[in-house]
Amino acid sequence: MYVKTRQLSAKEVKELDVIAQEKGLSREKLVTEVLRQFLNNALSLDEHKIFFENEVAEVIQVLEKNNQIFKKVSDVLDEKGDEIGLNY
């Protein structure tokens, strides 16, 4: 596939050429490399996003369950604490 840089201004093309020359690449190879990196990062970010969304969902479920358990323990201590000598 050809990527055309004709939408770039003359200044942008010149800057692109300078960067390409610094990296020892042609303008076309530099643009290709930039696009590849962008796509790889975008795919990687999507994978990370999905992973973290799933992980956060699991953590929230565990926290909600722990919160329910602590509430039950707290309620029992409130009710029975005085009877068994636990004052907090």
Q: What is the pLDDT of residues 29-40, one digit of tens each?
A: 998 899 899 888
Q: Where are the domains of the chain?
A: 10-80
88 has pLDDT over 60: no
- Residue by residue, DSSP assigns 13-82 as HHHHHHHHHHHT--HHHHHHHHHHHHHHHHHHHHHHHHHHHHHHHHHHHHHHHHHHHHHHHHHHHHHHTT
The stretch 61-69 carries a mean pLDDT of 93
Q: Say how far apart CA 62 and CA 42 lie, in whole Å.
A: 30
